Amino acid sequence: QITLKESGPTLVKPTQTLTLTCTFSGFSLNSPGVGVGWIRQPPGKALEWLALSYWDDDKRYSPSLKSRLTITKDTSKNQVDLTLTNMDPVDTATYFCTHRPQSTSYYFDFWGQGTLVTVSS
Amino acid sequence: QSVLTQPPSMSGAPGQRVTISCTGSSSNIGAGYDVHWYQQLPGTAPKLLIYVNNNRPSGVPDRFSGSKSGTSASLAITGLQAEDEADYYCQSYDRSLSTWVFGGGTKVTVL
């Protein structure tokens, strides 16, 4: 049974750096094809894909946020971190951690419950 | 502005059929990338509803079905139930942007 859970600060100030941790169970990030991704959703708005880390340490980023994003994995701890620099109030959103299955297609079959991050001074 | 276009809202009476469209372009759906659908109940995380165009994960009722043609896809809900009131998002991959892309979401209301 796959589970994912996000953790990190709920409130950050503008210009600060946000670091979120996804702790997962029920799968290995060493398995070929598997990935862990981050997706966010501003209040009342649509989903936005941010980044994904593959089993082989290949990393993909949203082009619009690439300069501010870093994704890292620690397979020994079953964790994936997401760092977003220079936070702005427009970055206020619920951030979801997701599982990308071993597949030739591009989708997310399991999601964490999400964590709301508010950017405010 | 989402890469995939969905109607913002749709509604139907219990028992009716609702079809949600998802329109893309030649760099995503039209390029052959699969379409997937997620259901987001109020206050909860999205849940995979349909994957690879027309496949249901275990536990998803067969009232939900998906299809894809050309640069568009559709999600059909037949026999609409009160518990189907939620936001629905389509998702694909865009080769020009090299990103996973979502639609803007459709809020389904059961009258």
**Contacts for A77-81: CB closer than 8 Å, 24+ residues apart:** A77/A23, A78/A23, A78/A24, A78/A25, A78/A29, A79/A21, A79/A22, A79/A23, A79/A24, A80/A21, A80/A22, A80/A24, A80/A29, A80/A36, A80/A38, A80/A53, A81/A19, A81/A20, A81/A21, A81/A22
The pLDDT tens digits along chain B (111 residues) read 899 999 999 999 999 999 999 999 999 999 999 999 999 999 999 999 999 999 999 999 999 999 999 999 999 999 999 999 999 999 999 999 999 999 999 999 999
Determine contact: B88 vs chain A, CB below 8 A. no
Using the beta-carbon criterion (under 8 Å), do A105 and B48 form an inter-chain contact? no
In chain A, whose CA is at the least distance from the CA of B93?
A106
DSSP assignment string, A32-51: TT-EEEEEEE-TTS--EEEE
Which of B33, B38, B48 minimises the CB distance to A106? B33
Cβ proximity of A80 and A53 under 8 Å: yes
In a mutational test of the B interface, the residue from A36, A47, A62, A108 whose CB has the highest number of chain B CBs within 10 Å is: A47
In chain B, whose CA is at the least distance from the CA of A94?
B45
Alpha-carbon Rg for chain B in angstroms: 13
The strand pairing partners of A65, in sequence order, are none
**Residue that the structure tokens 């990030």 belong to:** A29
A3-31 pLDDT, tens digit per residue, is 999 999 999 999 999 999 999 999 999 99
**Residue that the structure tokens 């942007």 belong to:** B97
